[in-house]
Structure 1
Amino acid sequence: MGFTQTEFLILAIIPKVSAVLSTAGSVWILVEVFTDRKKVTNVYHRLLTAMSIYDILESSWNFASNWALPVGTPNTWYTFGTQATCTAQGFFLQFGVGIPIYNGCLALYYLLIVRYGIRDERMKKWIEPSMHLFAFVVAFGTAIAGVPLDLYNPDDVPMCWIKNNPIGCTETWQSTPENPANCVRGDNSSLYRFAFYLSWVWGSIFSAIVATVLLYLTVRGLEKKTTRYTNPSRSSIRAGWSKNKDTEQPSSNFVSLEQQGTDRSESSEGYTQGSSTSGRQASSLVQSVRATLRKMVSRGEQDRNENPRSRQVFNQAVWYIAAFFLTHIFACIQQVIFFAGGTPPFWMIAIHMFCDPGQGFYNFLVYRRPRYIYIRNKNPELSRFQCLRLALRWSFRGPVDVTTGRDRKVTTINDAVADQEYDSFHDCDDDYQDKFDSEEESPPEEEQAPRNIEPTNSGRFG
């Protein structure tokens, strides 16, 4: 694919811009994680940290772009490299295949904490190490395999990656007796490009889509369950129970049932033992019904509290997957066009050259998104730009007093509560872990000793 000098320079400059943004975003994430002891011990932040490290390595060589090409490469300009620099660039660009794998792992992580309730402690034992090991083996294994196979050569765009040399030569798998293989380097590179990179990218995209669909179904089911337990009309019909803001009172049906038990126990001085037993049974029945109804109300409140948290986690997962798609969607479309024997338009190649090196920057925006939303919800009078500026300042200078624009020292209980409130909003996955920890610390309801309530003549129930 030949480009004019202007087109070549455009394609050479574009990845330098996005690579700088991506590196800055990834470094920002690393600084935030490593300066917070709590985040360092969290699986979500460690996955994001590993992804950022992979991105920094890849973005550094994306920034080099045409500079790493060997001097004298046909139809290139401003090249200063050798075959060694070309091989190094191709190695680290291929090593970046670990980034889409980590995207799939991140989607799986969100699915595990929301749908299956797996805690951080369990993930740290074997799930998280397996994710890191799998990503490294695939990334390093495919990258190092390309060196002895001579796969790293000047590509169609101003980069060195998996490509045959000279460009357009006949590969062995394509050769015929009339058209024998004639590649000097990178023989069968089109097959290796699919096996070493595209298959993993498409597999990660597929796994991320499946995880997102399952995550959506989980959140949607929780929302429906919340509606079922919190809808006043349905609740009153099913349970015969009316609840106001201050008190919980049984409906007239249960009041009547209670009154029957009371009347039977207080009817006369000569009541029989059978009637006393009947009154005691009625009273026990009412107690059981009341306990069941309270449990239903409590369950509805718990689901209602859990629902916003689930929605926050789901939304954050979707934004990370959107950043993943934005990075690779144009590259995938471009490869499909190549496989079909066509030539992608220049504008598509230019968009691909900008989006592909920029995932670190996209991840940074998604990582900052909860903080921006938190500040905007707390301060609706501020403009979007002001909220964004405060969200960015918070990273290195701590909380900010929005009324003065100055750094706010956490010196009061209210300040500490506000900071803790943000942490709860920002780290949705930490909220889930805290919830599971509290559930483990408190014994199940069935294990608690039952209370023996003896009916008396002076009480409400006889």
Structure 2
Amino acid sequence: MAPLSSAQQIVLISLSTTSGCLSMCGSICIVILALQRRQQGTYHRLLLTMSLIDIFHSIAIVFNPFLLPKNPDRIWSIGNDRTCSMAGFFAQLSSSVSFYNAMLNLNYLLTIRCGMDSNKLTKWVEPWMHALSIIYPLCTATLGVSVGMFSELELGQACWISDYPRGCEEDPNVDCTGQVFGWIFSGIPLLSTLAFLLISNILIYLKVREIVAKQRRFSVSMDDSIRRKKQDVGTQASLYVAACFNTVIWLVVIRTLESLGVHREDESSVFHLLILTSFFYPLQGFWNLLIYVRPRYMRWRRREPDLSRWFSFRQALHPNPMLSEHFISMHSSHHHGNRSVSRIIVRQSLSRNSVSRHTTVSDSGENSAEQRMESSPEARTTITPSLDDAYLDDSHLFRKGSKILSLANTTQQIVDPKAKMTLDEMFQQRGSRNSRADEAATQPTQETHLHHDDDVVRFG
């Protein structure tokens, strides 16, 4: 057994740098998309904060090989104890990413299994989610820097808690407490997080299966939509869990081997594990981006299966509104009850006498309804759905969809409890109102984009 050769170190540095750059780009894309679309909700705020933290962590990973204390055995290491301590600080702070993964799953668990209202979740639970995910990693990272806990690790090209106090391994009169602090700072919280992710994901799956079984009693013709919702909700939650496991598990293996006595002189014997760790550990932001745009990508694939996968992915990542409107217009006369949450396009035409507002609900699983308001100045508003919708997390969609289905005896008899009319009556009334409004309209059309929550009529 021998330490790593220069060629092996170059391989590890290349892998970690590449993965770190991919993760950084993925997290930056999530931040940009979330800010551009002005999306609200606990899910988006959790993911946005996690992405911001991951950006700093990815930057630290990219520069980590150069921040190591200068050592002939470590190529390209030009740092010192201070730079290593700084790298250790960001390594410890990055544990908040795992906490945020757990909070994302908790969000799914509370909304799907417990049926918690989004307002209550935002007001009473979300602040504690952020506090737990940020305060503990930040306090432990600050404590580690202040007392000098962070130093170069014995296994792998990184800085974190190693021999503490310094020189304790050479001095028999000093007890080494580095492993104890390592378990307190990261080991126990990380294993607890992984256990919670696994258990909560099982509970989510069982609840989704239970809801789907109940929904099938109300409708036979909606089986495809129900089955798709089941797959989307379960898959979305499972993918975040899988991303966290695939990112963290390799680091847990390496740190466990180090605690069992595998040190720098034995690195060549575990080179294959170091390769897996260097490649997968920094990729959290990259996986998050793929999972984040997946619902939008899947909607494009389902509606336009003839389009290439790359085109669908580009539209999911950076939508072209003109293309979106073109494709959605081909389907606008069908499938009113099977649309996902849509960005609403409002066309306003001024008239002299009245204002008539027609709103189409396009939440997945919810059927179209109307809302009419009369006031002045006069305007006519018509809502049309779009493929490029503002993404609302699947747990919220599933809860809303299940509430709608609970009101139905058949797919044709979904009743608005406020309007006291069937779906067919709603469509007939909307058609007559649109005809009268078209005759009264005299001014040119003005197009405005509104957020999907501004003009959505919700049941229950």
Normalising by the residue count of structure 1, what TM-score does the alignment of the two structures yield? 0.68
Stretch moving more, 428-437 or 96-105: 428-437
- Partner amino acid, structure 2, of 1:190: Q
Count residues in correspondence: 356
Instruction: Tell me the equivalent position of 1:400.
Output: 323
Structure 1 pair 84–334 and aligned structure 2 pair: CA distance change class (3 A): closer
Instruction: Give the SS at the match of 1:423.
Output: coil
Deviations along 1:177-218, whole A, 9 cap, x unmatched?
Answer: xx4448xxxx42222222111211111111011110100110
Q: Secondary structure at the match of 2:145?
A: coil
**Partner Cα distance (1:205, 1:154) in 2:** 26
- Residues 1:353 and 1:228: Cα distance change in structure 2 (over 3 Å): same
Does structure 2 conserve the Cα–Cα contact (< 8 Å) formed by 1:215 and 1:314? Answer: yes
SS of the residue aligned with 2:238? helix
After superposition, the Cα gap between the structure-2 partners of 1:335 and 1:84, relative to the gap in structure 1 and judged at 3 Å, is closer
Match in the other structure for 1:28 = 29
CA deviation vs aligned residue, 1:47-96 (integer Å, no higher than 9, x gap): 0011101101111100102111122x351111222222111111011100
Percent identity (aligned): 27
Deviation per residue, 1:2-56 (Å, 9 max, x gap): 211111222222211111111111111111111223x1x3110000011101101
For residues 222 and 151 of structure 1, do their structure 2 counterparts lie closer, same or farther at Cα, with a shift above 3 Å needed?
A: same
CA distance in 2, matches of 1:416, 1:10: 55
In the other structure, the counterpart of 1:274 is none
In the alignment, what sits opposite 2:66? 67
Partner of 2:287: 362
For residues 396 and 257 of structure 2, the distance between their equivalents in structure 1, rounded to whole angstroms, comes to 43
CA distance change for structure 1 residues 425 and 132 in 2, over 3 Å: closer, same or farther?
A: closer
Match of 1:56? Answer: 55
Residue 105 (structure 1) aligns with = 103
Matches within 5 A, 1:109-124: 109-124=107-122
Name the CA shift for 1:86/1:337 in 2 (closer, same or farther; >3 Å).
Answer: closer
Out of 380, 394, 413, the position equivalent to 1:428 is 394
1:125 to partner: Cα distance: 1.2
> Structure 1 residues 337 and 168, CA, compared in 2 at 3 Å: closer, same or farther?
farther
Alpha-carbon distance in 2 for matches of 1:118, 1:188: 43
Select which of 148, 151, 154 maps to 1:150.
148
Q: Which amino acid aligns with 1:347?
A: H
Given that 1:219 and 1:307 are in contact with CA atoms closer than 8 Å, whether structure 2 keeps it comes out as: no
User: Would you say the 8 A contact 1:370–1:426 is kept in 2?
Assistant: no
Provide the secondary structure at the position in 1 that maps to 2:78.
Answer: coil
1:363 Cα deviation after fit:
0.3
Residue 335 in structure 1 maps to residue 258 in structure 2: no
Question: Structure 2 vs 1, CA of residues 105 and 304 (structure 1 numbering), >3 Å: closer, same or farther?
Answer: same
Q: Which moved more, 1:131-140 or 1:341-350?
A: 341-350
Contact 1:424/1:430 (<8 A) preserved? no
State the 1:225 CA deviation: 2.4
- Contact 1:86 1:153 (C-alpha < 8 Å) held by counterparts: yes
Residue 205 (str. 1) matches residue 194 (str. 2): yes
Point out the more displaced range, 134-143 or 382-391.
Answer: 382-391
Q: 1:340 Cα deviation (Å)? A: 4.1
Matched, 1:417 2:384: yes
TM-score by length of 2: 0.69
Cα distance in 2 for residues equivalent to 1:398 and 1:169: 63
1:159-174, aligned counterparts within 5 Å?
Answer: 159-164=158-163, 170=169
Q: Which residue of 1 aligns with 2:430?
A: none
Contact 2:43 2:393 in 1 (8 A): no
> Could you tell me how far 1:436 is from its partner in structure 2?
9.2
> Which of 281, 302, 322 is equivalent to 2:242?
322
1:402–1:410 distance in 2 versus 1, CA, 3 Å: closer
Which 10-residue stretch deviates more, 157-166 or 207-216? Answer: 157-166
Amino acid of the structure 2 residue aligned with 1:111: L
Structure whose alpha-carbon radius of gyration is higher: 1
Go from structure 1 to structure 2 and tell me whether the alpha carbon gap of 1:399 and 1:194 turns closer, same or farther (over 3 Å shift).
farther
**Cα separation, partners in 2 of 1:416 and 1:385, compared to 1, 3 Å:** farther
Q: Partner residue of 1:196?
A: 185
Task: Quote the offset at 1:358 in angstroms.
Answer: 1.2
In the alignment, the residues of structure 1 paired with residue 281 and residue 94 of structure 2 have an alpha-carbon distance, to the nearest angstrom, of: 11
* 1:114 CA drift (Å): 0.7
Q: Map residues 59-458 of structure 1 onto 2, 5 A cutoff.
A: 59-71=58-70, 73-155=71-153, 156-164=155-163, 170=169, 179-181=172-174, 187-230=176-219, 308-341=228-261, 345-394=270-319, 397-398=320-321, 400=323, 417-419=384-386, 423=389, 427-432=393-398
Higher helix share: 1
Do the aligned partners of residues 317 and 66 (structure 1) sit closer, same or farther apart at CA in structure 2, a change above 3 Å counting?
A: same
What is the SS of the residue equivalent to 2:147? coil
1:79, 1:338 → 2: CA distance? 21
Cα RMSD (Å): 3.6
Q: What CA distance in whole angstroms lies between the structure 2 residues aligned with 1:438 and 1:91?
A: 49
Distance change (3 Å), C-alpha of 1:7 and 1:416: farther
Amino acid in structure 1 at the alignment position of 2:242: A
Q: Which residue is equivalent to 1:298?
A: none
- Matched residues in 1 for 2:160 and 2:5: separation? 21
Asked if structure 2 preserves the Cα contact closer than 8 Å seen for 1:368 and 1:391, the reply is yes
Gaps of 5+ in 1: 232-244, 246-300, 440-444, 451-462
**CA–CA distance in structure 2, aligned partners of residues 197 and 23 of structure 1:** 22
| Deviation digits for residues 404-446 of structure 1 (CA, Å, limit 9, x no counterpart) | 9xxxx96989997342x5538764244357569989xxxxx9x
3-state SS, counterpart of residue 9 of structure 2: helix
